[in-house]
Amino acid sequence: MIFGTRHRLTGPGGFAAALCAFALATSGCGSSTTSSTPPPTTIASPPTTASAPASTPTPHASTITVDVKDMKFSPATLTVTPGDTVTWKFADRMPHAVQGMGDTAMGINSPIYNKGEWSYTFSVPGTYRYLCPLHPDMRGTVTVQ
């Protein structure tokens, strides 16, 4: 473009010429070689190491039963190891449930049962207190060590 001179793009060819000029101006300089395929890209793979799976089952994991009958948990206090499962077996004339008390026992929350069973696997060491929400005097504790 020459300064001091006004150019008007008119007519059907004017717009096409302007578009072509814009494309040439923005394309930059190229190399003398042309290629129809882009250069190959390589993605580095992380090094592989032999490691144990993230959740390895405890070889000595077991299931401990708590009977829920006669308006009590029996045994009311028990100690387990990480990976153990506690199964509450409900067999009473009254309906009961298991509900954790406090922050550490938040995931312990069974449905209400007259008959049946419900299980929970303890994986983190700590003390887990629970009760029957329908009969708050029914309480129990599971210690995981």
User: Looking at residue 61, what is its pLDDT?
Assistant: 84
The model carries a pTM of 0.59
- Cα-Cα-Cα-Cα torsion 75, 78, 83, 85, nearest 10 degrees, comes to 10
The rounded mean pLDDT for the chain is 74
Confidence of residue 11 (pLDDT cuts 50, 70, 90): very low
User: Residues 79-108: pLDDT tens digits?
Assistant: 999 999 999 999 999 999 999 999 889 899
Q: Give dist(CA 21, CA 92) in Å, integer.
A: 88
CA distances from 50 to 47, 57, 127 (A): 10, 18, 35
